[in-house]
A and B are shown apart, each in its own frame.
Chain A
Amino acid sequence: EVQLVQSGAEVKKPGESLKISCKGSGYSFPSYWIGWVRQMPGKGLEWMGIIYPGDSDTRYSPSFQGQVTISADKSISTAYLQWSSLQASDTAIYYCARHPPYSSGWVRFDFWGQGTLVTVSS
Chain B
Amino acid sequence: EIVLTQSPGTLSLSPGESATLSCRASQSVSSTYLAWYQQKPGQAPRLLIYGASSRATGIPDRFSGSGSGTDFTLTISRLEPEDFAVYYCQQYGSSMYTFGQGTKVEIK
A: residues with CB less than 8 A from B are 35, 37, 44-47, 50, 59, 61-62, 95, 97, 105-115
Contacts and interface: CB of A to CB of B under 8 A. Distances in A.
Interface in B24-60: 32-33, 35, 37, 39, 44-47, 50-51, 56
A47 B99 contact: yes
A47 B50 contact: no
Contacts, number: 58
Per DSSP, chain B at the interface is strand
Nearest to B88: A45
A62 B98 CA distance: 12
Interface of B: 1, 32-33, 35, 37, 39, 44-47, 50-51, 56, 88, 90, 92, 95-102
Contacts of A107: 32-33, 35, 50, 92
Contact of B44 (A59, A105, A106, A115): A115
A44 B101 contact: yes
Given A106-B51, A107-B32, A112 B45 contact: yes
